[in-house]
Amino acid sequence: MKNATMIATFAGLPSLMAGVKEFFPSKLILIVGKSEGEENEFIENASMLKKTVGSIVSIDLMEIDDAKDAYQVAKKALELIGKERKKGKEVILNVCENSKTQPIGLLLAAYASGEKVKKILYTTASRNNIVHIPKVGINLSGPKKTLLQAIAKNPDKNISQISRKIHKTRAIIYRHLAELEEMGLVDENYEITEAGVLVLE
């Protein structure tokens, strides 16, 4: 896909190449932990990747402090998705199977980004098979998004104060809060969760 960017976690060269071969994006962004970027095996694989497809696919490494923190991976992936979409690129996420939490973070970003992602792939490490994952995004109605934003901006306000601020009855606010809690965007105390923060980015 000429106008596509693939954002991927790195589990090894064969599983990553399976996704690249299927879609041939014009750009590949690998999300790696800082310690991974220094490991000999990773350096060798990245060098081989550049030799194999580097002449036709632009390859960037995006290092994050803690690749084991799925929330940080998701936050960085959402930032990258936004940047690439602003450039008019379609975005494909390649979730490469490995024993780390990076794939979970990439999936969180996929679901939080909604329609901004064109495809989600899961590449198995054992057979390098590509599994297309259905796009199931979190699409909030305008009032629910407004409520979630109000909670994020005003964490110390109670329900009555928020209801006056966004001009909705308390009954409607509580109904929306129950739905937001069911989606995992607020907790039982109606405080915004990390997933809720991701959805608003």
Pull the structure tokens for residue 185. 């965007």
Would you tell me how many other CB atoms lie within 10 Å of the CB of residue 189? Answer: 6
Given this model, what pLDDT does residue 151 score? 92
Please name each of the domains of the chain with its CATH number: 4-133 (3.40.50.10770), 142-200 (1.10.10)
Q: How far apart are CA 52 and CA 23, in angstroms?
A: 15
Q: How far apart are CA 61 and CA 25, in angstroms?
A: 15
Nearby residues of 199 by Cβ (< 8 Å), 6 or more positions away: 112, 138, 140, 148, 185
pLDDT truncated to tens, each residue of the chain (201 aa)?
Answer: 678 999 988 777 877 888 888 888 999 998 887 776 566 677 777 788 888 888 889 999 888 887 777 778 888 888 999 999 999 999 998 887 665 667 777 777 877 777 778 777 777 666 667 777 776 667 788 899 999 999 999 888 888 888 888 999 989 999 999 999 888 888 888 888 888 888 887
